[in-house]
Chain A
Amino acid sequence: MFEATALNARNARIQTLFRLLFGLMTGLLILPVLIILTTLIHEGGSVISYDFLFTSPTDGMTAGGIFPALIGTIWLVAVALIISVPLGVAAAIYLSEYAPENWLTRAINLAIINLAGVPSIVHALFGVGAFVLFLNFGTSILAASLTLAVMTLPVVIVATRESLQAVPLAFREACWNMGATRWQTIRRVVLPNAVSGILTGVILEVSRTTGETAPIMFTGAVFFTPFLPQGVFDQTMAMSLHLFVVSTQVPGVPEQLPYGVALVLIGMVLTMNSLSIAFRMHLRGRKKW
């Protein structure tokens, strides 16, 4: 009575097959990550030292450390975040909670998606035109960070909007029924439950901003400067551009050096990601519903 029929057996075989297939795909997915990391650690690990991290490049970039680039990247990312997070979150709240469902809203949503698809080199040229020249910020951290901010805004907006919309409508209706205004509802119920999702968007933005080269190379990052930036109107070195420079632009760089720079760059991104993920898990804490 409980014996497997031919159909049962066939279904079970197909099930096993698909599980294997999907598992294999997942394996393939993490393979490049593993290869990149092991290569970098293997080739570049020996370069990393206290001096490498905390001194300036010397001998025409062929020796010395990366300190100005490290600090410059932190500046660029921080300023970009300060600009794009408030702007993006506010826009997402408007689009998700206030905007009426009409053609204008749909057009704006479409524009945001398209903005996300604009190549970074186009953003770079926009940044040169708008921030460096028109607003006359010159090649500076401010101009570069604004360019990065414009480029990553769609990521923040989309992630924030998605996480706001993941909060069930019933919660909002319960609040409205009590006489809460939209803003009271957002502040007391919607936002606290969307924070972890918003943070995911910010993490994505940090990763992308840290690694971008094209948008900053015409707007604020320079080939070499021994000075650390003192403010947002200074030029600065940056990790991503420095990697590009030592890999392709300067003759006589020791083979290990670019690997070391790349390792530090990846290390920065991973560290920031892990910190944000830890913070996010701390926020999420327990399951809310």
Chain B
Amino acid sequence: MVTPPSPETRQSKVKLAVEGLTIRYGSESALRDVSLQIYEHEIFGVIGPANSGKTSFLKTINRMDVFNPNMHVEGTILFDGRDVRRWRNVYALRSRIGVVFPLPVGLPLSIYDNVALAPRLRGGQSSADLDVIVERCLTRAALWDEVKDRLDALGSLLSGGQQQRLTIARALSQDPDLLMLDEFSIAVDPVTTMRIEDVLKELRNEITIILVTNLVQQARRLADRTAFFLQGECVEIGATEDLFTGAVQDPRTRDYVEGKFG
């Protein structure tokens, strides 16, 4: 296993600074007073059992919380130093953040159009540019070889695993600064998962990645630093290797990564 470079050895600026983040659904809190920093060009892992507020956390970052009137957010999230809750143009914010959710969503458009959608929304791309973007993104998502001969087939009729890779390709087509993956490998077979993980390691040189995962070993393989969320509380943040070698502040972290509960 390749040990990822620890953040100390890299000259990193803060990409995302979260301060006192609390998320409530009605009266029920999903996340309580979380503060953390994510550096540019790192893979930041978030582990924790179901219902720990991991997905809610991601939704607040790209302001998808506005679609749920029941969701109340307090605290600040600085993206490149700007408070996401004060961005006037949330569309511009979202277009810089690629998101992959656990359940694959192949839009009922052709495979080509699925991947070309984000560049088209942004505008200003020639069709030759689009061809290049589509091929690059599909290749990176480990899907190109399977679909290159039928790019005009419907994306929504691909198999679940293929649709998930299409979703990843679509997220990459946004040319994002930040990629948020929420348990992306649930619908993907292990071999493909490994291929995507390799891509993620490469992508680290270009973008920042938040990897929410149920698979603690996946966090260990990929993440530079990892946060452990438990029932809405951020129990621990540290260099991933420390979490897995027992150098932890909180015994619950050790129990979780060793599989004693969760």
Contacts and interface: CB of A to CB of B under 8 A. Distances in A.
B94 A176 contact: yes
Nearest to A181: B91
Central interface residue in B97, B103, B107, by most chain A CB within 10 Å: B107
A233 to B, nearest CB: 45
A173 B68 CA distance: 12
Interface residues of B, number: 31
B214 interface: no
B154 A286 contact: yes
B108 A179 contact: no
Contacts of A177: 62, 64, 94, 97, 99
Nearest to B94: A179
B157 A287 contact: yes
Contacts of B122: 179
Contact of A179 (B69, B156, B174): B174
A178 B96 CA distance: 8
Nearest to B92: A179
Contacts of B98: 178
A179 B118 contact: yes
B118 A289 contact: no
A289 B104 CA distance: 12
Interface string A96-107: 000011000000
A179 B93 contact: yes
A287 to B, nearest CB: 7
A192 B117 CA distance: 14
Interface string B138-162: 0000000000000000101100000
Contacts of B108: 171, 189, 192-193, 288-289
Interface in A140-188: 170-171, 173-181, 184, 188
A189 B109 contact: yes
Given A184-B121, A189-B107, A288 B174 contact: no
Interface string B116-132: 01100110000000000
A289 B156 contact: yes
A178 B105 contact: no
B226 interface: no
Contact of A174 (B154, B157, B170): B170
Contacts of B118: 178-179
A178 B117 CA distance: 9
Given A174-B170, A179-B92, A179-B118, A288 B156 contact: yes
A178 B92 contact: no
B105 A174 contact: yes
A100 B68 CA distance: 11
B167 interface: yes
A190 B122 CA distance: 19
A176 B94 CA distance: 8
Contacts of A179: 91-96, 118, 121-122, 174
Contacts of A175: 107, 117
Nearest to A184: B121
Interface in A176-228: 176-181, 184, 188-189, 192-193
Interface string A243-278: 000000000000000000000000000000000000
Contacts of A173: 64, 67, 101, 105
B182 to A, nearest CB: 11
Interface string A34-55: 0000000000000000000000
A178 B121 contact: yes
A125 B99 CA distance: 56
A192 B110 CA distance: 13
A284 to B, nearest CB: 11
Given A171-B108, A175-B107, A288 B154 contact: yes
B105 A170 contact: yes
A189 B103 CA distance: 18
Contacts of B109: 188-189
Closest 6 CB pairs of A and B: A179-B95, A289-B156, A179-B94, A288-B108, A174-B105, A177-B99
11 contacts: A176-B94, A177-B99, A178-B117, A179-B93, A179-B174, A180-B117, A181-B91, A189-B108, A289-B154, A289-B156, A289-B157
Interface of B: 62, 64, 67, 69, 91-99, 101, 103, 105-109, 117-118, 121-122, 154, 156-157, 167, 170-171, 174
Interface of A: 100-101, 170-171, 173-181, 184, 188-189, 192-193, 286-289
Given A171-B105, A179-B93, A184-B121, 10 more contacts: A176-B67, A177-B64, A177-B94, A178-B98, A178-B118, A178-B121, A178-B171, A179-B91, A180-B121, A286-B154
